[in-house]
Structure 1
Amino acid sequence: MTLALQTIGLDKHFGGLHVTRSLSLNIEAGARHALIGPNGAGKTTVINLLTGVLKPDAGRILLEGQDISTMPVHRRVLSGLSRTFQINQLYADLTPLETIGLAVSERSGHGGDWWRRMGTRADINGEIAENLARFHLLDVMNEPTGRLPYGKQRLLEIAVAIATKPRVLLLDEPAAGVPESERHDILAVVANLPRDVTVLLIEHDMDLVFSFADRISVLVSGALLVEGPPAEVARDPQVKAVYLGEDAHA
């Protein structure tokens, strides 16, 4: 088994609040792995620890075997770890064309003059066009992001994450707040993410989780309750009791 991402005994406190408790996760390379749990279970804290937004009080984080526990956020991105957010972190005045162009240019070392590179580099232009098409953004590519429907904004955030060429992608509730009429594109994009990218998904929508994941970890009060294939997790009596409900995916 080749591990893309691993935590070993990960602990985090906020004062007297113990948010993660000796958490050990093993995310296999190429996996579609979901991290679920009730509100307050510590899921987003785990993502913030993995990406360097928060520092662990104890434990280690390994990215493809490399200890990144003390590595700053930008170095983790350059090392192949990218994420999306529960609430998008986009530039409202930039268009999707400009936003993806900035991400591609920054990754290739030309972020300082990205507006020039977009017009002169065929490789950059081709990658931008490919991402706009893959994420269903061609029809709005010249619209200011702040004016886009929320579903399109969520698609753009995933597109930006993919533009960094991650080997591990953390999706923090990609369908959160998206109206039902716009959810189809989100679900389709998540399902069709590149297979050479390992994905760790945090999501409350169980239909999305069970249709996407090949392995599920259930977090309760910052500790790992159950981990296994979706069918096995769905049948587990502890999971039914604390999260899914007795009838969920029986």
Structure 2
Amino acid sequence: MATILETRGLSKRFGGLIATDNISFRLEDGARHALIGPNGAGKTTFINLLTGILAPTAGEILLDGNAITGMSAERRVRAGLVRTFQINQLFPAMTPLETLGLAVSERMGGGRDWWRATGSKTEIVREMIEVAERFRLIDVLEEPTSKLPYGKQRLLEMAVAFACRPRVLLLDEPAAGVPEAERHELLATLADLPGDVSVLLIEHDMDLVFSFADRISVLVNGALFREGSVAEISGDPNVRAVYLGDAIDG
């Protein structure tokens, strides 16, 4: 399959600390790929490098074969590389309707006049409703975000990212903090993501990783430790020793 996102020798040092060590990684077009590793493995640093929040010390990043290493975070989003965060980056006083209106209108060039543009362009309204339906937000569209159940807030953040029309979607622990009663809706939404969006999932919940991913990369001490199919990673005794332990059996 074609490679949509690639890193070559990607490294990041903070003084004498090596946070990311010579990572060469490929995400295939349409993939469902999980990135796992113990706390402090360098997962967040790696994602921050991919999205332009941090500049690498060495190496390069390519999106669809084009170098984006020096590109700003905003330009990467516009090029189709979009992420969510471990902690929601939402406006608590806004409703999902307003939040999605802002995201869709901004992508279409509405800018500061986003609310007027939302009301005057049927294509914006149509897309807002389609995204809300896909992410199971129709029933809470006019509720303040601060009053939404946490699972719905996580769905809203993913919906905002999806409204940017990503080619690559980086999901940073989407299930973190979501109560068990709300997890089914979130997992079903992830399973329904369209195949033309390539997904890199960063997650500690191994049940979610094993049910969602078709390929897994293991990061340890800032370096790529193992990579393979779900069966290969789940059965690898070295992976068990450094990270999974008994979690893989339960």
TM tier, shorter chain? over 0.9
For the 8 Å contact 2:32–2:213, the answer to whether it is kept is yes
Structure 1: which 4+ aligned runs deviate by more than 3 Å?
Answer: none
Q: Secondary structure at the match of 2:195?
A: coil
Could you list the per-position Cα deviations for residues 104-142 of structure 1 after superposition, in whole angstroms to 9, with x for gaps in the alignment? Answer: 011111122110121121111111011111111111111
How far apart, in 2, do the equivalents of 1:138 and 1:169 lie? 22
Gaps of 5+ in 2: none
Map residues 39-188 of structure 1 onto 2, 5 A cutoff: 39-188=39-188
Out of 198-207 and 143-152, give the one that drifted further: 143-152
Displacement after TM superposition at 1:15 (Å): 2.0
Mapped partners of 1:11, 1:179: distance in 2: 36
The residue that corresponds to 1:248 in the other structure is: 248
Match of 1:214 in 2: 214
Q: Could you say which residue in structure 2 is the equivalent of 1:224? A: 224
TM-score normalized with structure 1 length: 0.98
Distance 1:247 1:115, change over 3 A: closer
1:57-94 deviation line (CA, Å, top 9, x unaligned): 00000011110011000000000100000001001111
1:10 lines up with 2:3 in the alignment: no
Contact 1:137 1:156 in 2 (8 A): yes
Distance 1:9 1:165 in 2: 28
Amino acid at match of 1:114: W
Distance 1:248 1:48 in 2: 28
Does the CA-based 8 Å contact 2:135-2:155 persist in structure 1? yes
1:195 aligned residue? 195
Distance 2:85 2:135 in 1: 17
Q: CA deviation at 1:246?
A: 4.8
- Check conservation: 2:3, 2:28, Cα contact below 8 A: yes
Q: Separation in 1 of the partners of 2:50 and 2:72?
A: 11
User: Aligned partners of 1:43 and 1:187: how far apart in 2?
Assistant: 22
CA RMSD, aligned part only? 1.1
With over 3 angstroms needed to count, the CA separation of the structure-2 counterparts of 1:247 and 1:73, relative to structure 1, is closer
Q: How many residues end up aligned between the 2 structures?
A: 250
Q: Cα deviation per residue 1:203-237 (whole Å; 9 max; x = unaligned)?
A: 00000000000100000001011101100111111
Cα deviation, 1:10-65, whole Å, max 9, x if unaligned, reads: 10112221111000111100000000000110101111000000000000000111
C-alpha separation between the residues in 2 aligned to 1:236 and 1:225? 11
User: Residue 60 of structure 1: SS of its match in structure 2?
Assistant: strand
**Matched residue SS, 2:248:** coil
Q: Give the unaligned 5+ runs of structure 1.
A: none
How high is the TM-score relative to the length of structure 2?
Answer: 0.98
